[in-house]
Structure formats: C-alpha cells, structure tokens
Structure 1
C-alpha cells in the first residue's frame, strides 16, 4: 500500500521532534558549537516541513475543496508563530543564553504539539479524503522538495 498524506507528514513531524530533542540536549550540555549545528538542522527540517505543506499539500487541498480561509489558513498562521519563536531562539544560541532558550523551547514544544495534533487528527485526514486520487503525486512532489 502506498503512503497516505497523513502517514508521510506525520512521520515528518516525528523526525522534526527528534531533531528538536537533539537540539535541546546539545544546549543542555553547554556545547554551543553542537547546539548551533543541531539548531540549524532542526530549523532546516522544520522549514522544509512547512514548505512541503504550504507549497504542495495546502494548495492542492485548497484547489480541490475550495476552502482557502479554513484550516490551511490557520496552519499557515501557526507556522508563522512558530517561526517567530525560532527566530528568538536563534538569538539565544548566538548569545549562549540557555535559560531564555529553554523558556522559548518549552513554548515552541507546546505550539508544535498542539499544531501537530490538529494537523494529524483533522487536516491530514481531510486531505487524504479529498486528495486520495492525487495523493501519490502530492507525496512525490513533497519528497522532491526535500531533495532540492
């Protein structure tokens, strides 16, 4: 059986969560070089996830359903909110401020968990239902983005 949009993007959430944990562990260890490296990897993976959704899956979903102001708009706003926290975290990595960093990372973790739950329980299931005929093509487009 081929991947579903839900299984593909849910696995990508788990991969981002793993990078998030690696980043937090590096900051906790006080190894700021490793912290910057793992932070950069996490941010790249997170941004790629947002791009796969915003450049491929969301437009396909919106075109198919005609829903442009609904769940995808909310998810885009939450992506922007998470990016704002990540920008502040980058400043803490540069200034080696672990206490402020961990306050922000706790906020980001809560945002990500709530966001992922909405996507995994609602939006991805809706996408699979509406896009089932095109799901293999959409997943391939998302995978192609990752290779660029």
Structure 2
C-alpha cells in the first residue's frame, strides 16, 4: 500500500511539472488580455443597453407612480369637494322641506280655523233659525190656544 501511495505521489508531481491550470508563461497575459477584451465587448454590446433599458423602465415606473399619486390627490380633492357640495345640498333640501312643512301646516291650520268659523256661523244661524221657528210656533200655538179657549168658552156658555 505504501508502494501505491508512492506511485500516486510520483504521478501527481509529474503532472504538475507538465503544466497545470495556471502556468505562468506567455499564455497567461494573453488570456488576461482576451478576458479584458471580452469584458469590454460584453459591456458595450450587452450590459450598457440592458442597463439603459432598466434605467428607462425604472424612470417610467417612477414617473407613472408620481403621476398616479398626483391623480390620486386630485381625485381625493374632488371627492372631498363633491362630498361637501352634497352635504350642502342635503342641508338646503332639508331646510326647504322643513319650510314647506311649516308653510303647509300654517295653511292647514288657517283652513281649519276658517272651517271652524264657518261651522260656528252655520250653527249660530241654524240656532237662530230654530229659535225663530220656535218663537213663531209658540206664537201660532198661543193664537190657536186662544182661539180654542174662546171656542170652548163659547160652547160652554151656549150650553
């Protein structure tokens, strides 16, 4: 087993001498140069346009949000104004209704008073008429009683 370990270590050292992932020779600066050129090209071709699109989108969202906020404030102001106008209209309508009720009650009470006066006048006239008829009836009865009493006296005297 020691022999196997020794062989494995020998192979690893030989591989390390052949060249590995990071050899410090002329290819390393060339790879760095390729990497920098690739980064620059990617930055110019892809990252800047994508960043510009993202910035434009963010600006559009920000402006849309500010416009929506302004519109919401205007809408709130309009709602408050309309609610105030509605409350004023309701108040004036209630006032008009109460005044109309008061006027109607006055008209009704005036008509009731007039009707009561007319009824009292009719009752008074009927009462006067009945009193006069009673008086006339009593006078006529007194006349008839006088006539009948005279006739009774005459018959009694004749008999």
TM-score using structure 1 length: 0.24
Query: Larger helix proportion, structure 1 or 2?
Result: 2
TM-score using structure 2 length: 0.23
Higher relative contact order (CA 8 A, sep 6+): 1
Answer with 1 or 2: which has the greater Rg. 2
